[in-house]
Structure 1
Amino acid sequence: MFYYIVIALQVYCIYHLIKNRNPYYWIFIILFIPAIGCAIYLITQVYSKRNTEKLQDDIVSIIHPAKKIKDLEKRLEFSETFQNRVNLADAYLAAKEYQKAIVHYKKALEDDIQNDVFVIKQLIEALYKSENYEELIVYAMKIETLPEFKKTRTEFLCGLAYEKLGDLDEAEKHLKQIDERYSFYEERVILAKFLLKRDKKEEAKEIIDEIYIESQYMTKENKKRNRAIIAEVEALKQEF
């Protein structure tokens, strides 16, 4: 538990120093002497009687997402606005409470005045995570002609939903839209495996080879972030 508290404090301190444009040398202090560095930063840069309560709330919300949800529920109860409802739905989605997120996204979409493309995209994410593929397709069709849909994760999820429903041609059409070089590595690996299942070995091989070549030029940070994907690509290369 102590480890997670320290991580939360580091996240908060770095966020605070960037937001308030404090000297960047604090980052090294916070990262290399975590507990002591965070304590020194909080005492010298953040602490004051008037913001003690806010600091406590921010840290608690990082450690306990349930508190953030409860606060957002109270805010929506006090003021039933479009944005308050979407914020609560987003919090439910982040907390993997997909059914509750779906309820609030749908309620928000009843407001015809607001620009609802973002809400539909978030709803599609929640519907996919809750395995409600048929309804996902219904909402995807509402925005499929918009640039916010094309070549995005939302279209990719639409393709996966079609695959789950057995419409493989439609699935392939949407999944292939995500095949952009130097991006969407995980999604492209999924696409390659989808093509393998359809006996399209050459197309799958081309994608895997491209990702492998791209991985050779990644920065250390990108390699670390995509370590699992790179390992999977190297394993898949052995199958060809």
Structure 2
Amino acid sequence: MHYYLIVALQVFCIYHLYKHRKPYYWFFLIFFIPVGGVIYLITHVFNKRDAEKITSEITHLINPTKKIKDLEKKLQFSESYQNRVNLADAYLEIKDYNNAISHYLEALEDGSQNNFYLITQLIEAYFYLEDNILYAEQIKGYKEFIKSRTQFLYGLALEKEEKLDEAEHNLKQIDIRYSFYEERLIYAEFLLRRSKKAETKNILEEIYTESQHMTKLNKRLFRITILKVEKLLKSF
């Protein structure tokens, strides 16, 4: 029982960490320090909304439609910028891209806000529906854009427009060790399509080597990606 409680705590902390974009080093603290999960809860969860916050997030994780309904009620009660963005984020989480885009666009009409985060989410939603790079052009000058998933999606959109050199420049920024495994695999496949076999093999070998040192949880999370990497490596 003690073992399962520890695993449950680690899973929740990783979910919370990923959702709220906390520094990556917390992954290592949570998994390799016995009290890492407890420290994370105290510093990043309990000091915000205490145990009620944990219960709410676990419920929403299990039943995402309840989260949508709760956020819709909040928006009906108060049509604030943040309530609308929160609802759009929830739609994006469940891959309801049309509703997510609708709310993001409405929130974007509020010219008093710093819309960098909003535009990154809008780009993410648009990517799965159409080749839209309009909004990326608005924020690519921001330092937060560099080496982000948003820049990666921008690179893929550029490839679809056959702007291959520009696409490669933007996709290359995501090639950061011990992170972005799925994105780096896609970048490697892009290089292979451009007949850059040496660069492709180098990235695949790096991902494979890193996979040998992953935690058990990460191995489960990225199992399909690792299998694809191994399959591609066998073709060289």
Match of 1:225 in 2: 221
Query: Is residue 199 of structure 1 aligned with residue 195 of structure 2?
Result: yes
Cα–Cα, structure 1 residues 203 and 60, in superposed 2: closer, same or farther, change >3 Å? closer
Query: Is residue 67 of structure 1 aligned with residue 66 of structure 2?
Result: yes
| Separation (CA, whole Å) in 2 of partners of 1:218 and 1:57 | 30
Match of 1:213 in 2: 209
Query: Is residue 184 of structure 1 aligned with residue 183 of structure 2?
Result: no
Give the C-alpha shift of residue 83 in structure 1.
0.4
Amino acid of the residue matched to residue 126 of structure 2? Answer: L
RMSD of the alignment, in Å?
2.8
Match of 2:26 in 1: none
Instruction: Provide, for residues 149-190 of structure 1, a one-character-per-residue CA deviation record: whole Å limited to 9, x for no partner.
Output: 110111001111112222222211111110111211111111
Match of 2:156 in 1: 160
Correspondence 1:39-118 to 2 at 5 A: 61-118=60-117
Cα–Cα, structure 1 residues 63 and 218, in superposed 2: closer, same or farther, change >3 Å? closer
Secondary structure at the aligned position of 2:202 is classed as helix
| Separation (CA, whole Å) in 2 of partners of 1:85 and 1:105 | 7
| Separation (CA, whole Å) in 2 of partners of 1:225 and 1:98 | 23
Cα–Cα, structure 1 residues 116 and 204, in superposed 2: closer, same or farther, change >3 Å? same
Match of 1:133 in 2: 131
Q: Write out the 4+ residue segments of structure 1 that deviate beyond 3 Å after TM superposition.
A: 54-64
Cα–Cα, structure 1 residues 196 and 59, in superposed 2: closer, same or farther, change >3 Å? closer
Amino acid of the residue matched to residue 179 of structure 2? Answer: S
| Separation (CA, whole Å) in 2 of partners of 1:87 and 1:58 | 14
Match of 1:42 in 2: none
- TM-score with structure 1 length normalisation? 0.72
Give the C-alpha shift of residue 60 in structure 1.
5.7
| Separation (CA, whole Å) in 2 of partners of 1:74 and 1:107 | 17
Relative to structure 2, which stretch is displaced further, 61-70 or 89-98? 61-70
Unaligned regions of 5+ residues in structure 2, if any?
1-7, 17-33, 38-50
Unaligned regions of 5+ residues in structure 1, if any?
1-9, 19-23, 28-45
Match of 1:142 in 2: 138
Amino acid of the residue matched to residue 178 of structure 2? Answer: Y
Give the C-alpha shift of residue 98 in structure 1.
0.7
Match of 2:31 in 1: none
Match of 1:239 in 2: 235
Give the C-alpha shift of residue 67 in structure 1.
2.7
Give the C-alpha shift of residue 138 in structure 1.
0.9
Secondary structure at the aligned position of 1:223 is classed as helix
Give the percent of matched residue pairs that are identical in Structure 1 and Structure 2: 55
Aligned residue pair count? 194
Amino acid of the residue matched to residue 215 of structure 1? Answer: S
Secondary structure at the aligned position of 1:148 is classed as helix
